[in-house]
Structure 1
């Protein structure tokens, strides 16, 4: 587990250094553009910093690029932890966000509604 405050510092750095895909999705998720849901980006949850989280709905949205293809076990461990804390985790590949933004937003909206 990270030292106290380390996750917050990491989250700040990740927000500052967001990828182009994270920025694109954030632009569409911020300021309640998916209804009343408040979405946070690069938010610390336990020992992890998740890409996007809606705390009220208990939803975590993760974006996976090429670096995740080789570390499936770490992603599964992370998902198990988040699920044990009551969060539902949905994942999208970066190319899905680039090629099918509307489909990704629809899937997130449905997850927020609990479908």
Structure 2
């Protein structure tokens, strides 16, 4: 759990704190997406650049689907509109994450 605690402490110093899984799902639902937890993938994430290069932490990534169509957000036929732009902004911000089963859940 040391690497998880270290990552959480690092993010807290930057002002970022984990959300509940319900709040995380709600944030994506508000823009028309749902988390597809059947696609969860447990891994170790590793910082590749910057001052934390080489540091790693346990991570769970998950699928994201459009609520109205059921398509993966990243399917070739999925929407590419302002909701998708917001989705990408949220994902890339690093602010939308939760702790799940000893790992960071990062959609």
**With CA pairs under 8 Å and 6+ residues apart, which has the higher RCO, 1 or 2?**
2
TM range (shorter): under 0.3
Superposition TM-score, scaled by structure 1 size: 0.24
Higher share of residues assigned strand: 2
TM value normalised by structure 2 = 0.25
More helix per residue = 1
